[in-house]
Structure 1
Amino acid sequence: MTLATTLTPGAHQVEIDGIRQVYHVAGTGPVCLVHSGGPGMSWEYLRMPALEAHLTMVYLEPVGTGASGRLTDRRDYRIDAYARFVHGVLDHLGAPQAYLLGHSHGGFVAQRYALDHPDRLAGLILHSTSPVTGPEFWTDAMANLARLPERLAHRPQAAAIPAVFPQALAATDDETFSVLMRQVLPAYFADYWAQEDELAPAFAAFRAWIDPSGGEEPAPFDVRDELGFLDVPALIVSGDQDFICGSRWGRMLHEALPTSQLLVLDCGHMAHLERPAAFSRAVVEFVEGQTGSAA
């Protein structure tokens, strides 16, 4: 199968380790794989039409979500497993190198993949993510979430969100998980209601799947020591009002990764939706900088 065939616009699928992996292609230009967050979130929220004018965007439906296949054991949904599927898609595409954009949990996957296969990447775009998780990370996130009603005191709708978040994490079926996550989604923005007219239609159809939430990592994610040896150009984008992967973690990632540049935007967890012009401009300039260097 040729590169032209694997990158024709539309939906495609490839079998990796006997599991169906679905991906969607849109746009033209250098290839950029996109891995959504969660784990377990639908890929559509990460669609970036502005980047499709400059890049061939390859949006993965991560295994365990959407039309992609399911792993036999929920405990196998680990970061290294997702990275293995990224590698399988890159091999299938036949592109010698590509950019890899990972959002949130997808950023963990992107870091792991870059560390394991740096030769396959032209560049790394780490969107609202962190080089580490663990107790301090989650304590910080939950404290920020608890402060949401105070931070958005002029938005009475924010008051109920902190209580809904643990309910969503405790959901036992996909539909309940999806419904509760849609109620929580405003927390991922600096002020969702200020942009509600443009954001609400996209999130009305938002879906989430509980299977990937059963993954069992051998230890909390922490690649800070490894990143110092990574020689892949990287762009890090963080939101200064992101409750879960805020600029504190973006700066930590920047300090650990010597080949990186950092952009901090006035937004929450969804810079590509809240600050689309600034986000897209930064990505395009980053890619143009690498292609110019290569030339």
Structure 2
Amino acid sequence: MPYADVNGARLYFEDSGGAGPAVVLSHGNLMDRDMWVHQVRALERDFRVIGWDERLHGRTEDDGKSHSYWDSAADLIGLLDHLGLQQAALVGHSQGGFLSMRAALLAPERVKALALIDTTSVAWPAEALAQMRGVSEGFRAAGPEAVAPVLLGMLLGQPVIHDQWLTKWKAQPRERLADAVQVLMGADDITDRLGEIAVPALVVHGDADQPIPYPLGQALAQQLPAAQELVTVTGAGHTPNLTHPDRVNPALAGFLRRSA
């Protein structure tokens, strides 16, 4: 299996290979690289597509300690180093967007373009933090079944794909799931630094997103200096790349052809 030894972790990744421009896909909290299945199929003919599992997720092996999204951004840059890539376009969903924006701030010369799906630059309000705390405690005390009925609907929206992700959660230690949510709770506000991100950007957001409401996507598109477009996915919740790939993929592929 392909692993990259980066910053004390063994990051699992999948690489389509090829000579096309490099695109790195970074998943959301409690997900893994499989959330990009529709995008890999749509992009791999024209791009070198790399999906990876972040710390506390999927097949990546790490020490289980808490970390920040700045640490995750450093992991992503380390993955580029491992792959011998000087630059890549970064596509991030939710927490994958958190770390992708921070990578653009840490190493702007390594980032060619940013596509940000249902993500934000702000810190969580108190109400959201309280909800996440309950999710984390539910995972730790009783396992995925305790939180799945509400959480799967909030994250995915479409019951037909719930079982796949519940099965993945059941395969992970409870403590790892709980700790992943705690990392999410620690996201800091980087809104005042968005003006430093000068690369072309695409913002995609479901207008029915509950965890990161649509107005936050609108604000992100307005605040990124080189944002080219805000794609509103009508009726989509938090993961439009999974639930509405027919709307997301054309916009994403077009943006990457122009920018990557």
- The structural deviation recorded for 1:27 is 6.3
Q: Which of 65, 71, 81 does residue 71 from structure 2 map onto?
A: 81
Residue aligning to 1:61: 53
- The structural deviation recorded for 1:32 is 1.1
* Structure with the greater alpha carbon radius of gyration: 1
Q: Which of 154, 177, 183 does residue 215 from structure 1 map onto?
A: 183
Query: Which amino acid in structure 2 is aligned with residue 192 of structure 1?
Result: Q
Give per-residue Cα distances to partners, 1:270-293, cap 9 Å, x unaligned: 1112221221101110011125xx
Residue aligning to 1:13: 3
Q: Distance in 2 between matches of 1:24 and 1:233?
A: 25
Identity of aligned residues (%): 25
After the TM superposition, which of the residue ranges 239-248 and 23-32 deviates more from structure 2? 23-32
After the TM superposition, which of the residue ranges 79-88 and 42-51 deviates more from structure 2? 42-51
Superposition CA RMSD, Å: 2.7
CA contact (8 A) 1:245 1:269 kept: yes
Q: Distance in 1 between matches of 2:37 and 2:106?
A: 26
Residue aligning to 2:153: 186
Query: Between Structure 1 and Structure 2, how many residues are aligned?
Result: 248
Give per-residue Cα distances to partners, 1:151-195, cap 9 Å, x unaligned: xxxxxxxxxxxxxx8753213549x54434543212234x525xx
Query: Which amino acid in structure 2 is aligned with residue 238 of structure 1?
Result: H
Residue aligning to 1:36: 27
Q: Which runs of 5+ in 1 are unaligned?
A: 1-10, 143-164
Query: Which amino acid in structure 2 is aligned with residue 281 of structure 1?
Result: P
Residue aligning to 1:23: 13
Residue aligning to 2:103: 113
Q: Distance in 1 between matches of 2:100 and 2:9?
A: 20
Residue aligning to 2:195: 228
CA contact (8 A) 1:45 1:206 kept: no
Change (3 A) 1:69 1:203: closer
Query: Which amino acid in structure 2 is aligned with residue 254 of structure 1?
Result: A
Partner of 1:228: helix, strand, or coil?
helix
Residue aligning to 1:269: 238
Question: Any runs of at least 4 consecutive aligned residues in structure 1 with deviations exceeding 4 A, and if so which?
Answer: none
Give per-residue Cα distances to partners, 1:98-146, cap 9 Å, x unaligned: 011111111111111111111101111111101102326828x96xxxx
CA contact (8 A) 2:73 2:103 kept: yes
When normalised by structure 1's length, the TM-score is 0.75
Q: Distance in 1 between matches of 2:104 and 2:115?
A: 11
After the TM superposition, which of the residue ranges 128-137 and 77-86 deviates more from structure 2? 128-137
Q: Distance in 2 between matches of 1:181 and 1:62?
A: 22
Query: Which amino acid in structure 1 is aligned with residue 178 of structure 2?
Result: I
- The structural deviation recorded for 1:263 is 0.8
Query: Which amino acid in structure 1 is aligned with residue 79 of structure 2?
Result: V
Q: Distance in 2 between matches of 1:45 and 1:78?
A: 22
Change (3 A) 1:104 1:180: farther
Q: Which runs of 5+ in 2 are unaligned?
A: none
Q: Distance in 2 between matches of 1:216 and 1:136?
A: 13
Residue aligning to 1:103: 93
Give per-residue Cα distances to partners, 1:183-224, cap 9 Å, x unaligned: 3212234x525xx3xx3564353326333334398x752111
Q: Distance in 2 between matches of 1:117 and 1:68?
A: 23
CA contact (8 A) 1:54 1:284 kept: no
Partner of 2:23: helix, strand, or coil?
strand
Residues 1:253 and 2:244 are matched in the alignment: no
Partner of 2:80: helix, strand, or coil?
helix
